[in-house]
Structure 1
Amino acid sequence: MDRRLGPAPPHRRPKPKPQSCPDWDSDGVDRISGLPDHLIEEILRRLRCARSAARISLLSRRWRHLGLLWRGYPELSFRGVEAEALPAALAQVARPELSLLDIDTHPMTSFKVAGIASLLRTAARLAPVELVVSAKLNEVLGRSIPFELQLPCFHRAKSITLELKYYNLNLRVTGGEFPVLERLFLVNCDVRISDLISRAPRLRSLQASHDQLALYTGYIMVHSTTLEELLLDRWDLFGGIDIVAPALKTFTLSADMVSNQSRITLTTATVEHLSWTCIFRTNQLIHGVWSLSNLKLKNEQDAYVLSLCLNDIIDTHTMEQPRNLQEIVQLPIVSVLELDLDKWRREVHVYGPLLLNLLGMEMFADIKRLKLVYSRHVDVKLDKACPSNCTCGQPQNWRSQSISLMALEVVEIEDFIGKGDEVDFLKLLFRSAPMMKRVTVKPCSHAVPSFRACKEICNIFREHPSVKCYSYDSYGKKVLYPHSTYAARCRGR
């Protein structure tokens, strides 16, 4: 034997065959038929799946008749049924109204849009209280004009789930209302939400998601006094979003904004669970050379946390006029601002005027914590000064200005080199925030601060003894500033 193959596997004894049991149907005797009718009916009723009930009806002679009782049950599930067989199966339903209609077709079968439309019309005639439809479409992908699907009204439905796999449809709501609808879950369906909400006066939960990003040219408008949960996942929006929902408790949004005129508005009381992620495909020029590329919003302990990612990628000569951030997004008062400035060009731009512009907005009037990260994607050695007339430095008198940041208590700045404009912005913050409690400045790991910069930073910290000022030592440990690399450089170490 080749030793590389290892030792031979241990000899395994064959498993013993089970002994015959006197209760088994090995003698061909139909013992199932001896069960009482009410017990057989209860078994079939608990199956809930019409397909399984039909199968079981083949087990015994008496079950063949009782197996048809599923047609009169109030809760019916059709799972794994072929698309071609589904219309005939639904035609056998004997009840005019159902409590549950659950349809999940066989994964190897698919519908055309006309087939889905016919299926929904049949389901509407059965008037279920809860409707679940999961099906795969086989229409040609990549059409420039999406298919349209009419959603009939379900006057008894409290919950509707419509999951269409592998293709996006424009869902249109026909005449009538959904008077008792409380929950609606849509997958790969683009619907004019404002029309839908106006027809569902009791709607409490709306979830609409996509398997892949799909362009929706409309404007999402949600004005509802009853809506408590809203989930919009993987939307590709050409328009904007307008949310006015005072009862909203949970709001999740994931969207790509594809127009430079997109706008997001949120008017609601404090949401218990909030999570937004918006990517701007066409970078929105905010101030100077800085463009908005990403926005995230969440809540922590009843406080809104806004994260903005801005970059200097776009050539400002090809851009339209800058847009004020409040023209792009209107939010309740934000308590925490996390700002990530992505530097991709060799030119080193000033960010003080940008921050002065942002922090002066109404949404940041009560800001308590500010975090600024200056992410460099170009080697510091390749940096060069931007032109003297660059728009990033406007207004030119920004260094002497101040803003009211009465609630600001905590400031964190990362990748701090200590250039003149950075030090000037640090002075502006101390001057504008009299209630400051803690400041942390993390030096850039790719550049050594000058002696002059270290001295200015230490002087600023020394002038504000009531503020705990932190930086980092030569080992990368966060320490109070007297033990930091700035102080060590000032002492000539």
Structure 2
Amino acid sequence: MEHCDGEIPIKRPNLPDGGDDGGGGGGGGSEDRLSALPDDVLIEILLKLLDAAVAARTSVLSRRWRRLWRLLPGLYFPSGSGNDPQRIRLALAAHEAPTFRNLEVRVLDGTPDSVASWLPFAARRLSGGLCLINSLTRNGSEDMAGERGAFELPCFQSATSIFLSLGYIGLAVPSSGVFARLTELELNRITVHGACTLGDAVSSPCCPVLQNLVISDSCHLGNFTIHSESLLEMKLMYLRGLQQLTVMAPALKLLDVRNCFAPDFLSYNQPVVSISAPQLLTLLWRDFYDPRFMQLGKMENLEWLGTYPLMVYGQDEYKILNSFCTRLLQRFELIQNLILMLVYRPEDLTNQHYLMEQHITRLPYITFMVMDIVASGHSFGACSFHVLRMCTSLRKLSLTVGVTTIPVEEETVCPSSCACHQPPNWKTDELVLSCLREVEIHNLRGTEHEAALVKRLFDWATVLEEVTITLHCSVATNVAKEFCQRLQSFSRPGIRMEGSHFS
């Protein structure tokens, strides 16, 4: 070991056989200037190592270093050392501070028994954040949960944040105890076990100051009921088997629900939802919605609404999917900010029906719209026109193209015979957006149909003042400059255009 952070040289003393340098002296005329630094400075150096086991091995440097790692405010066990529960347990036992602020453990293919062997000890001494990540070396799913078993989460009375990503290890929540200081809880890839429900464990009696709750990619929640006086934000994403959701949260500001409910259209076993969140400001409901089974309560303070994606073209069966969005929109007369996603299927649309005019006939009164279009190479002028003509009160528009995980090189330009060019009325019909003053358009590829839509926007927005354009990173510089110059030719005096290629 010759350098620490590339700045402070370390010279190991010449020790006699079996000897020790005594903690900062120098045998044989050598000098250990690093060990002479104060404890708090040396601890900061050890924190840079980011591995509890490596930090502990610095004890061989001298007697001065032997106990320093035990004073670290947090311990980190990467995958190599995190798979040894004995090492974790011994490190926690040897740690001299009465509490430690942070504990991060990463394991590979961990088992319930290996986690349960050290977690209760950590629960008694942790005063800050816990991060436990179990990564799988083979494809894992909730189907493996039964064979992998479960462990009970101990009560962390002093922890302030907990993040668990368990690789579908079964998790049983404690039936007693109070997480008195817990403000943030995130559970990922868990399988719920035990008699005590997860909803009871995260409600106010057990988590009196919980503010942020995230549950994602998990299963077997069944009925989830939470009563929380402190909760401010809750995100529920990809929860398999969720049949009932009840939320009583008077302070809740943000609720994000996506892909949690699987409606049974062949029976009466529909998911049931009851939400009481009178102070809610943001509702992102990207999921099944049927007002016959789902009561959202009064949301008089709501400022942001996000809905399930709308399929622009498709067969009649997409009417059901599109109804998730349209039914939710019909619930509101007025909303300040709307997030709307329009999706094109990536394949040829020749035999597909245009669904917008059938499925979306009214929008709430809105002043700001965030419109994300997954175009998959198709022209999106018709659907944009259809939406905009129903919100003439719009003051600001933010349009992003291609919000998708599909690589750009896999998107193909559709042929001129493609159905996405129909109906063509958006190219000729008049539309007056007399309130629209600001437009942002992101991720453009420099195509002809994009230029045509921007040109029409300049025609429709009679009081437009500011336009911001960004192009996708794959667009060549010369193509981008030429495209931006073309867009500038559509502009009028008084309109300020911004972008990396406007100059």
Smaller-chain TM-score range? 0.5 to 0.7
TM-score normalized with structure 1 length: 0.54
1:33 and 2:50 matched:
no
State whether residues 197 and 222 of structure 1, in contact with CA within 8 Å, keep that contact through their aligned partners in structure 2. yes
Q: How does 1:6-405 map to 2 (within 5 A)?
A: 24-25=11-12, 33-34=23-24, 42=40, 46=44, 47=46, 51-60=53-62, 62-63=63-64, 67-68=66-67, 73=71, 75-80=73-78, 81=81, 82-86=83-87, 88-90=89-91, 92-93=93-94, 97-100=98-101, 102-105=103-106, 110-124=109-123, 126-136=124-134, 141-142=140-141, 144=143, 146=145, 147-164=149-166, 167-180=167-180, 181-190=182-191, 192-198=197-203, 199-208=205-214, 210=216, 213-236=217-240, 238-239=242-243, 241-260=245-264, 261-262=270-271, 266-269=275-278, 271=280, 274=282, 276=284, 278=286, 303-311=303-311, 313=314, 334-335=335-336, 338=340, 340=342, 346=351, 354-355=359-360, 364=364, 367=366
The secondary structure found in structure 2 opposite 1:230 is: strand
Q: Deviations over 1:246-279 (max 9, x none)?
A: 323444444354334346665435556x473625
Q: How many residues align?
A: 370
- For 1:103 and 1:182, the matched residues in 2 are separated by 18
State whether residues 183 and 203 of structure 1, in contact with CA within 8 Å, keep that contact through their aligned partners in structure 2. no
State whether residues 266 and 331 of structure 1, in contact with CA within 8 Å, keep that contact through their aligned partners in structure 2. no
State whether residues 44 and 67 of structure 1, in contact with CA within 8 Å, keep that contact through their aligned partners in structure 2. no
- For 1:275 and 1:315, the matched residues in 2 are separated by 28
- For 1:110 and 1:473, the matched residues in 2 are separated by 51
> Do the aligned partners of residues 240 and 474 (structure 1) sit closer, same or farther apart at CA in structure 2, a change above 3 Å counting?
closer
- Of 473, 476, 479, the residue aligned with 2:459 is 479
- For 1:437 and 1:22, the matched residues in 2 are separated by 63
AA aligned opposite 1:258? A
AA aligned opposite 1:189? I
- For 2:258 and 2:368, the matched residues in 1 are separated by 25
Q: Deviations over 1:39-71 (max 9, x none)?
A: 6755665546753453122112x34xx624755
Q: Which moved more, 1:133-142 or 1:80-89?
A: 133-142
The secondary structure found in structure 2 opposite 1:194 is: helix
Q: Deviations over 1:399-437 (max 9, x none)?
A: xxxxxxxxxxxxxx952899xxx9xxx8xx7xxx9x969
State whether residues 284 and 305 of structure 2, in contact with CA within 8 Å, keep that contact through their aligned partners in structure 1. no
Q: Deviations over 1:211-265 (max 9, x none)?
A: xx44445244443210123344454454354444332344444435433434666
> Do the aligned partners of residues 50 and 333 (structure 1) sit closer, same or farther apart at CA in structure 2, a change above 3 Å counting?
same
> Do the aligned partners of residues 143 and 34 (structure 1) sit closer, same or farther apart at CA in structure 2, a change above 3 Å counting?
closer
In the alignment, structure 1 segments of 5+ residues that lack a partner are 1-20, 287-298, 381-412, 483-493
> Do the aligned partners of residues 263 and 314 (structure 1) sit closer, same or farther apart at CA in structure 2, a change above 3 Å counting?
farther
Q: Which moved more, 1:111-120 or 1:199-208?
A: 199-208
> Do the aligned partners of residues 69 and 239 (structure 1) sit closer, same or farther apart at CA in structure 2, a change above 3 Å counting?
same
AA aligned opposite 2:382? D
Q: Deviations over 1:291-334 (max 9, x none)?
A: xxxxxxxx9x97324445444746569989x8896589978953
- For 1:39 and 1:376, the matched residues in 2 are separated by 60
Instruction: Give the C-alpha shift of residue 90 in structure 1.
Output: 4.3
State whether residues 111 and 135 of structure 1, in contact with CA within 8 Å, keep that contact through their aligned partners in structure 2. no
AA aligned opposite 1:168? Y
State whether residues 110 and 135 of structure 1, in contact with CA within 8 Å, keep that contact through their aligned partners in structure 2. no
> Do the aligned partners of residues 89 and 350 (structure 1) sit closer, same or farther apart at CA in structure 2, a change above 3 Å counting?
closer
- For 2:318 and 2:188, the matched residues in 1 are separated by 41
State whether residues 255 and 278 of structure 1, in contact with CA within 8 Å, keep that contact through their aligned partners in structure 2. yes
TM-score normalized with structure 2 length: 0.53
Q: Percent identity?
A: 16
AA aligned opposite 2:112? V
- For 1:25 and 1:341, the matched residues in 2 are separated by 64
State whether residues 254 and 277 of structure 1, in contact with CA within 8 Å, keep that contact through their aligned partners in structure 2. yes
State whether residues 244 and 266 of structure 1, in contact with CA within 8 Å, keep that contact through their aligned partners in structure 2. yes
- For 2:133 and 2:461, the matched residues in 1 are separated by 63
- For 2:304 and 2:257, the matched residues in 1 are separated by 15
Instruction: Give the C-alpha shift of residue 151 in structure 1.
Output: 0.8
The secondary structure found in structure 1 opposite 2:94 is: coil
Q: Deviations over 1:7-31 (max 9, x none)?
A: xxxxxxxxxxxxxx99944756876
State whether residues 211 and 233 of structure 2, in contact with CA within 8 Å, keep that contact through their aligned partners in structure 1. yes
- For 2:344 and 2:115, the matched residues in 1 are separated by 47
The answer for the alignment partner of 1:383 in structure 2 is none
> Do the aligned partners of residues 244 and 332 (structure 1) sit closer, same or farther apart at CA in structure 2, a change above 3 Å counting?
farther
State whether residues 78 and 104 of structure 1, in contact with CA within 8 Å, keep that contact through their aligned partners in structure 2. yes
RMSD: 5.8
The answer for the alignment partner of 1:415 in structure 2 is 382
State whether residues 374 and 416 of structure 1, in contact with CA within 8 Å, keep that contact through their aligned partners in structure 2. no
> Do the aligned partners of residues 447 and 332 (structure 1) sit closer, same or farther apart at CA in structure 2, a change above 3 Å counting?
closer
AA aligned opposite 1:117? A
- For 2:336 and 2:103, the matched residues in 1 are separated by 45
- For 1:376 and 1:34, the matched residues in 2 are separated by 67
Q: Deviations over 1:175-201 (max 9, x none)?
A: 212241222233323555412222434
- For 1:119 and 1:91, the matched residues in 2 are separated by 8
> Do the aligned partners of residues 353 and 303 (structure 1) sit closer, same or farther apart at CA in structure 2, a change above 3 Å counting?
same
The secondary structure found in structure 1 opposite 2:202 is: helix
Compare the two structures and name the one with the higher strand fraction.
1
- For 1:262 and 1:333, the matched residues in 2 are separated by 27
The secondary structure found in structure 1 opposite 2:116 is: helix
Larger radius of gyration: 1
The secondary structure found in structure 2 opposite 1:33 is: coil
- For 1:238 and 1:275, the matched residues in 2 are separated by 19
